[in-house]
Structure 1
Amino acid sequence: MSGSLTSQPAPLLRVEGLCQYFKTQDGRTVHAVEALTFDIKRGHTVGLVGESGSGKTTAGRAILRLLEPTAGQVFFNGTDVLSLPSKEMKRYRQKMQIIFQDPFSSLNPRMRVSQIIGEALNTAGYPKGEARKARVEELLQRVGLQAEHADRYPHEFSGGQRQRIGIARAIAVEPDFIVADESVSALDVSVQAQVLNLLGELQRSLGLTLLFIAHDLTVVEYLCDEVVVMYLGRVMERGPCREVYARPRHPYTQALLSAAPVPDPTRKKQRIVLRGDIPSPISPPSGCVFRTRCPYATALCAADVPAEQHVSDEHWVSCVRLHELNLQEQGRHDNAYQ
């Protein structure tokens, strides 16, 4: 895989050429995810970002086989989980969990919290009785809730509390890897911070590896070690958060970061406004899928799908005009100091 360094330990999760297509009723193909490739190191958090419709959630569900991918490979601890029979995959599901976006619709309204978490414990063969009750109470306290909350129903909680229940369910089976799918986007800003801090604490104490799907780049910068920028199912840029945020190379990443609010009224930002809307995944543009909205696009961009280009250690960009754009950026940088 491009970007892999043989001298480094193998990643916990490796996604190679993942594709997810759907068929419409009239027989057309929806290209939801196209040739998605990236790694997640053990104990790290990778943020998957992009506009609505970029394929982030679909990618997360395909990695966990909640959707059966059309093509590609997903290696978890060296095993291609996409090739496993369903019985064998059930064992791996204990190690690969998900926190859903909507903390209300993902919880069964007819079940008490103890039953919701208990379902997860059933899959792990956890004993019933007092041991089960004690485990549920321990999980609730770990996510900042009380033991007596086990007897309540989801509608009796706030949105932040419901998301904590979802987190408790995800960690109940002691997973190694969790997909957090827009897990704070439906919450108030103050509650978002609490849930993010909880995820960070759980990651450190339990040794979790996270794929954090989000559209809020500020949240990703706070929580994640690396970032993967998606547009219309394809990766535009990926690399360490600090480096990508400090010096984004792809025009799409630059536009996303220019739109992120800055908590400093004295700091001026040059907003990059993209033309038009994201194209339909039924008929994506030829070549670079971003070219129809890119301010730097030329006829060259329509010819071929750009290959990933190495920028630095673990920083990769998919842009056929990367070298030219780098020269333009260097020129602006030099002029600023003249």
Structure 2
Amino acid sequence: MIEADSTNETLLSVRNLVKKFQVGKSVVQAVSDVSFDVRRGRTTGIVGESGSGKTTIGRCIMRLVEPTEGEAIFEGEDLFKASGKRLRALRKRLQFIFQDPYSSLNPKMKVADIIGEAIDTHRIAKGAARRQMIGDLLERVGLDRDHDRRFPHEFSGGQRQRIGIARALAVQPDLIVADEPISALDVSVQAQILNLLQSLQNELGLTTVFISHDLTVVEYLCDDVVVLYLGRVMESGRAEDIYGNPRHPYTRALLSSSPLPDPERRRERIVLKGDIPSPISPPSGCVFRTRCPDAIEACAAVVPPIEEVGSNHVVACIRHRELPAWSPARNLMKETP
């Protein structure tokens, strides 16, 4: 697990998180013994393929789904044990940005009521002060103040996501969980929303858990990265270490498939064989071994422990010491005409 940096206070510490779902007669373990820290004022990226458990982790943190085991220590208090009035009070400090801006806004409510709902629930402002606050929030996310009189169907997807961001900011939260907030948007709009999130991070000092399947997006926005595969942490650390010195074969494979800004260069691609296994019947030992280009027989027998490989940099791979050095610079090739 990543320990808190001496210069950054840990706001949220997730430890040994397990989430199981009952699917018919089978039990699906969507998240298996996941631990990581979220440092105040920084953005922590949780990245992995579809089915890796990243959205489930975000929803467990928010208590939108109930965790099976583990703890989430938020400023000394376990979120997973809170209930009743205490849970409602904590939810004021934790906000969620949903993946789909079309279904996450009530179509029967005007924007003023969508944003104002949380303000009213937590008794933050009334009357003129409430209207002023809603207008300020709309302007902060790049919309006009008079947009508060419109309904969601009158906006584009990107504008709806801006409304969702304004709603999350309305209660001045300590932590925001953003679940793939650009994946449902047109490519031309995605960069605008990323730039908005980056700007808000810089202006407000937000602490964010950013969930994504795209390592390129995570590299742009995140300070720390947790790489997941089939509900387990494969590697985690500071972004500069994950991108500059990846130690897990899965991280290297994800990076090798990321596009480069230089059209004349491409990465040496690491192709993963097969599909991600079913969480109903995961592989023995290392869950990544069935697709790993570096797997050996022992990988089927041993669940790799989390090992520290640098300051705040950990990896779960029994072969990480044997793998050749890897860096983005040495894995670039010129495009052949």
SS in 2 for 1:43: coil
SS in 2 for 1:236: strand
Distance 1:3 1:13 in 2: 12
Matched, 1:18 2:48: no
Q: Deviations over 1:288-307 (max 9, x none)?
A: 10011111112211112111
Aligned partner of 2:105 among 101, 107, 115: 107
Structure 2 contact 230–279 (Cα < 8 Å) conserved: yes
Residue equivalent to 1:277: 275
Structure 1 contact 114–136 (Cα < 8 Å) conserved: yes
Residue equivalent to 1:206: 204
Q: Which amino acid aligns with 1:130?
A: A
Quote the offset at 1:131 in angstroms.
1.8
SS in 2 for 1:160: helix
SS in 2 for 1:325: coil
Matched, 1:174 2:172: yes
CA RMSD of aligned residues (A): 1.7
Residue equivalent to 2:214: 216
Distance 1:77 1:323 in 2: 36
Residue equivalent to 2:117: 119
Quote the offset at 1:7 in angstroms.
5.3
Quote the offset at 1:189 in angstroms.
2.6
Give the alignment's TM-score, normalised by structure 2: 0.94
Quote the offset at 1:328 in angstroms.
9.3
Matched, 1:239 2:237: yes
Which 4+ runs in 1 deviate beyond 3 A? 5-10, 326-329
Matched, 1:63 2:61: yes
Quote the offset at 1:126 in angstroms.
2.6
Give structure 1 stretches of 5+ with no counterpart: 334-338
Q: Which amino acid aligns with 1:144?
A: G
SS in 2 for 1:268: strand
Residue equivalent to 1:295: 293
Aligned partner of 2:74 among 76, 85, 104: 76
Q: Which amino acid aligns with 1:258?
A: S
Does 54-63 or 184-193 show the bigger shift? 184-193
Distance 2:266 2:161 in 1: 35
Quote the offset at 1:216 in angstroms.
1.2
**Given the superposition, is the C-alpha separation of residues 157 and 311 from structure 1 closer, same or farther in structure 2, using an over 3 Å criterion?**
same
Task: State how many pairs are aligned.
Answer: 329
Distance 1:29 1:86 in 2: 28
Q: Which amino acid aligns with 1:230?
A: L
Residue equivalent to 1:254: 252
Q: Deviations over 1:126-145 (max 9, x none)?
A: 33322221111111111110
Distance 1:3 1:119 in 2: 36
Structure 1 contact 214–220 (Cα < 8 Å) conserved: yes
Residue equivalent to 2:89: 91
SS in 2 for 1:22: strand
Aligned partner of 1:265 among 258, 263, 266: 263
Q: Which amino acid aligns with 1:240?
A: R
Quote the offset at 1:181 in angstroms.
0.5
Quote the offset at 1:325 in angstroms.
1.3
SS in 2 for 1:322: coil
Structure 2 contact 12–75 (Cα < 8 Å) conserved: yes
Quote the offset at 1:311 in angstroms.
1.2
Structure 2 contact 2–237 (Cα < 8 Å) conserved: no
Quote the offset at 1:326 in angstroms.
4.2
Q: Which amino acid aligns with 1:20?
A: K
**Given the superposition, is the C-alpha separation of residues 111 and 14 from structure 1 closer, same or farther in structure 2, using an over 3 Å criterion?**
same
Does 230-239 or 303-312 show the bigger shift? 303-312
Structure 1 contact 176–207 (Cα < 8 Å) conserved: no
SS in 2 for 1:120: helix
Structure 1 contact 258–272 (Cα < 8 Å) conserved: yes
Structure 2 contact 4–39 (Cα < 8 Å) conserved: no
Quote the offset at 1:255 in angstroms.
0.7
Structure 2 contact 2–236 (Cα < 8 Å) conserved: no
Q: Which amino acid aligns with 1:101?
A: Q
Give the fraction of aligned pairs with identical amino acids, expressed as a percent. 59
Distance 1:223 1:328 in 2: 23
